[in-house]
Amino acid sequence: MIDNLQASTIHSRFADGGVRLVPTGSRLYSWHQPLTRRSSSGSNPGRHWPSVLAVHGSGTIPAPFPPQDVWRDIDVRLRRHDPPYNGFAALCARLGLQFDQFGSNNPHFNLYAELPARFLAGEVSRTEKRLTLRLEYVGTPEVVLEWLPNRETRREPVPTGNPQLPAQRELVISIPHGATEVKANLLTMKCDAHEISLRVGWENILLHICEFFDPKQSNLTDFLFSKTNLKNVNPFELGVSRLLSLAGYTVLWFGKGAKDALPDLVAYVRQPLGVERIIYGECTLKNPAEKFSDLAKRADDLRKDLGVEVGTILPVVFVRNNTSDQDRRAAIELGLVLCDGNDIRRLQEKIKSDATPDEIFQFLRSLSSLTPIPGGLSTLFV
């Protein structure tokens, strides 16, 4: 197609003799340098490669081409088409193409080629001092890492990929001493296809602050397991909210305002590649089954209102005392997680060891299984 456009402005591979793009005597197309840009969501809804390589060309003609009545006829035909489109401009928008019928009478074109490479996830293990990047790509791209604050830049080897079919691979990379942040760029076809930034500092600064004001988290432990009255404030709710905030979540605690279908707390985090996690929590000192039915309905209503995927919202009943298998089964049947006193102690230890927000989310989700799982992780509902 590019050869035809550049050389003759005619595509000749048709039985009836070809299609002329501009009238006879028009100048050849002028070409702009190819550039990389982020792809629109409509260009390929099935794959969502993050970037495309774009080439723009334009030409000149002595008069408007095609005439306005041709544009009107095209719009009518598209509206009557199956499936219908609301005119040529709407079709171009659906395909992620730029089109301005009245902006210029000059012919032009935009060609796009997807850059088949993207980051799927990035995880930091602070205890093992390593970074794991999960990628999807065709062929063999390049990964360039910049470690901050020293600005040390390295090129990491990538496993050879299939030249035709997308494949998912993982890179496990040692984090250099003193690094607090990493910026990773994924290049393919000599183009910058995707990027990601991650904090890789060894310690959660909130844990340091908590230890400064509350050594060994003794006050937090009292809120979670001992205190019953704190000037009409529920100390157990406050303790659970503080615990989730130490894990890296932004927590809305409604406290005494938890009436008229308000939850006790909602915890939210957005991960580097845009994945969202929401913990919708109810807290009680005993009898967790009393919370189940109402929480299940309200969590489903919230999910529908936000328009998020199933699994983004995790409804959890936190209870101070230990619970029975019967209560846990009842919670599972309603799509809920039951986190009792023993589970909360395990959760607190994970947060003390600087577990990531996603590791905390996966740990809570694993409580939906009655089968003991080493390390508290489960893929039952993944």
What burial class does residue 69 get, using C-beta atoms within 10 Å of its C-beta: 0-12 exposed, 13-18 middle, 19+ buried?
exposed
- Spatial contact of 233 and 253, defined as CB atoms under 8 Å apart: no
For residue 157, what is the enclosing H or E element? none
Q: Find residue 124's DSSP bridge partners.
A: 131
Give the pLDDT of residue 60. Answer: 67
The DSSP bridge pattern shows strands 30-31 and 51-58 to be antiparallel
Cα–Cα distances (Å) from 121 to 31, 45, 178, 197, in that order, read 37, 20, 23, 11
Query: Omega before 149 cis (within 30°)?
Result: yes
Supply 249's token pair: 């979540």
**Which residues, given as ranges, of the chain have pLDDT below 50?**
42-45, 258, 371-382
Give the pLDDT of residue 286. Answer: 85
Residue 82 contacts by C-beta under 8 Å, 6 or more apart in sequence?
A: none
Give the pLDDT of residue 382. Answer: 30
- Spatial contact of 121 and 134, defined as CB atoms under 8 Å apart: yes
Q: Considering only CA atoms, which of 66, 173, 72, 190 is closest in space to residue 130? A: 173
Give the pLDDT of residue 44. Answer: 47
Where do you find CATH 2.60.40.10 in the chain?
A: 117-199
Dihedral (CA of 238, 244, 247, 251) sign: negative
SS (H, E, C) 295-311: HHHHHHHHHHHHCCCCC
Q: Write down the CATH number for the domain with range 117-199.
A: 2.60.40.10
Q: Is 196 helix (H, G, I), strand (E, B) or coil?
A: strand
Q: Find residue 314's DSSP bridge partners.
A: 279
The DSSP bridge pattern shows strands 10-11 and 117-125 to be unpaired
Query: Selecting from 3.40.50.880, 3.40.50.1580, 3.40.190.10, 3.40.91.30, what CATH number does the domain 205-376 have?
Result: 3.40.91.30
- Spatial contact of 129 and 202, defined as CB atoms under 8 Å apart: yes
d(CA 21, CA 19): 6
Give the tens place of pLDDT for each residue, 226-263. 887 655 558 899 899 999 999 889 999 887 654 555 77
Residue 329 contacts by C-beta under 8 Å, 6 or more apart in sequence?
A: 370
The DSSP bridge pattern shows strands 181-188 and 51-58 to be unpaired
Supply 177's token pair: 């001493």
The DSSP bridge pattern shows strands 313-319 and 276-284 to be parallel
Give the pLDDT of residue 2. Answer: 59
Residue type, 2: I
Q: Considering only CA atoms, which of 96, 115, 113, 2 is closest in space to residue 57? A: 2
Give the pLDDT of residue 193. Answer: 93
- Spatial contact of 32 and 5, defined as CB atoms under 8 Å apart: no
Q: Is 122 helix (H, G, I), strand (E, B) or coil?
A: strand
Strand order across the 250-253 sheet: 250-253, 265-270, 276-284, 313-319, 337-339
Where do you find CATH 3.40.91.30 in the chain?
A: 205-376
Supply 148's token pair: 């901050």
Give the tens place of pLDDT for each residue, 155-201. 999 999 999 999 999 999 999 988 888 999 999 988 999 999 888 87
- Count of CB atoms within 10 A of residue 281's CB? 26
Alpha-carbon 370 to chain mean position? 29
d(CA 52, CA 58): 20
Strand order across the 142-148 sheet: 152-156, 142-148, 181-188, 191-199
